Structure 1
Amino acid sequence: MITGTGLISQPTSVVLAGCGNMGFAMLRGWLATGTLKPQDVHVVEPLDALLLRADGQGVNTYSTAAALPGDLMPDIVIFAVKPQVIGDVIGDYLRFSQPGRGTTFVSVAAGVPIARFERELAPGAPVIRVMPNTPAAVGEGAMVMCANAHVTDRQRKTVERLMAASGEVTEIGDEALMDAVTAVSGSGPAYVFHLIEALTEAGKAVGLPDDIAGRLALQTVHGAARYAHQSGEDPGTLREQVTSPNGTTAAALGVLMRPDGLAALLEEAVRAARDRAIELGR
């Protein structure tokens, strides 16, 4: 696992195909840490509002891949588009996959297998599949990588450092696990956001003013996550430390830890997300 700023020692030219929420989150991480310089990033985004947002970061922006400079030889092309449109996008970057170009192709499209890119790019193209998540925008992302056999150690390390600018990076060898990764860390921030929403509403239900309930819920989740991350203890031990016998926390956990409680709901949710990722990749 790689963590930290992931600073790249030499200039690296990156084409970012798509700058929606995930693409923009990664872009902000690269620039905020100095991992990439704005002049080394080329963003292709057809939607005017998203293109304008990227342009505000000082990077090179284009509405189509055809508008990219003819002499551009990017080290990395990153596909950060919806999986439903990936088939319409890959061909626009075929020229960078020709032998001798040295371009590494990185996909963050949920559910799209490496084999899809291998079929549509030139033979031997190095492809890395990555599942990031939106906390990458504040340097707290969780990224998981899986590379094909054509990726060199140097290319792998460059992409690892690029992703590490936005959080923690883990590499797996079995691509079949990527759908489960998508369900846990890729979609996971939404689960936590919903937890904050639910805890806020629960606070209101027991009489707290709206603004106080919201602040307490948000800070409690934030503080608990930081404490769990920094303490080195497993979550079960931390839960036990907070729970006094027959106390208020024990009363609440008696509800949450019922057989049909939070753990069962989360497992059902993760399975649903995993299954949908599989469907999207077909």
Structure 2
Amino acid sequence: MDHPRITFIGAGNMAASIVGGLVESGQPATAINASDPYPQSLEKLREIAPVITHADNNSAVDGADVIILAVKPQVMADVCTGIASAVQASGALVISIAAGITIDSMRNWLGDQTAIVRCMPNTPALLGVGATGLYANEQVSEQQRSFAENILRAVGIIRWVDEERALDAVTALSGSGPAYFFLFMESMIDAGISQGLDRETATELALQTGLGAARMAMENNVDLVELRRRVTSPGGTTQAAVENFEAQGLRTLVSDAMQAAAARAETMAKEMG
């Protein structure tokens, strides 16, 4: 099956980005259905591609091979129980992009034999450069794993994890990660301004530097340590800055922050399950 029939429940920004990536990669818009309680969200989605839209979830999932749950975690239980009978009858793959909702919780709502892939995309997926971690339960077939891979690859890179709890680490690293880089760039901009640059110049230089560093890291088959070494001349300006970062405990600070994010993800799963 080259083009599975895909239904999105929820037509927000993340759903829209995945739809755009799918259509660009060759998925026919006529094989995509979407439902959302807000007509304006469905209208925006149809501006991206002429998908088939529904106001009712059950009519949207009828005949679907893949159902993507792109709703807020707080309404996931109601959404799942509402479509449970249709999912059990069809044997469709269910993909959840909702943070903090475990597979056990979804199985309780959808049925024990439901094939479920839980994934954690990040906001750069909105630009097609996302990073997504995925975990599948035992009911997911190889064909369904392929469906999940192709769908999420439409908006960036994907990595499977072997244990569901590893998604907490994915959340801490790539899920929350964009905010870390934004904060670091904010700090660089503020420091540049304090040293005499105007805000526009400091901002442009910081953002372009972040983009350039990321491209160098991705496009060179060179370890990050070596890339950093090449920029750090002995006794030079970069060495002075890096030594200050190390002395101030940057690595420990990052590790502690990511541990806090992972712990919060675990807590959220218990609260919402």
Q: Normalised by the size of structure 2, how large is the TM-score?
A: 0.91
The correspondence of residues 1-282 of structure 1 with structure 2, limited to 5 A, is 10-34=2-26, 36-57=27-48, 58-66=50-58, 68=60, 72-99=62-89, 101-261=90-250, 263-282=251-270
Change in 2 beyond 3 A, CA 1:205/1:157: same
Count of aligned pairs? 269
Cross-structure match for 1:6: none
Q: Greater RCO between the two (CA within 8 Å, min separation 6)?
A: 1
Answer yes or no: is the 8 Å Cα contact 1:83–1:281 preserved in 2: no
Cα separation, 2, equivalents of 1:159 and 1:134: 18
Deviation of 1:132 after TM superposition, in Å, equals: 1.1
Q: Deviations over 1:232-272 (max 9, x none)?
A: 112111111100111111111122222433x2222222112
Cross-structure match for 1:3: none
Cα separation, 2, equivalents of 1:268 and 1:258: 16
Instruction: Return 5+ residue gaps in structure 2 as ranges.
Output: none
- More off after superposition, 117-126 vs 178-187: 117-126
Q: Deviations over 1:141-179 (max 9, x none)?
A: 111111111111111111111111221111112111111
- More off after superposition, 24-33 vs 159-168: 24-33
Secondary structure of residue in 2 paired with 1:151: coil
Change in 2 beyond 3 A, CA 1:32/1:172: same
Cα separation, 2, equivalents of 1:231 and 1:255: 27
Change in 2 beyond 3 A, CA 1:11/1:281: same
Deviation of 1:66 after TM superposition, in Å, equals: 4.5
Deviation of 1:126 after TM superposition, in Å, equals: 0.6
Counterpart residue type for residue 88 of structure 2: Q
Cα separation, 2, equivalents of 1:125 and 1:60: 25
Deviation of 1:115 after TM superposition, in Å, equals: 0.8
Instruction: Return 5+ residue gaps in structure 1 as ranges.
Output: 1-8
What is the Cα-based RMSD across aligned positions, in Å? Answer: 1.8
Q: Normalised by the size of structure 1, how large is the TM-score?
A: 0.89
Deviation of 1:229 after TM superposition, in Å, equals: 0.6
Counterpart residue type for residue 278 of structure 1: E
Cα separation, 2, equivalents of 1:160 and 1:18: 20
Identity of aligned residues (%): 35
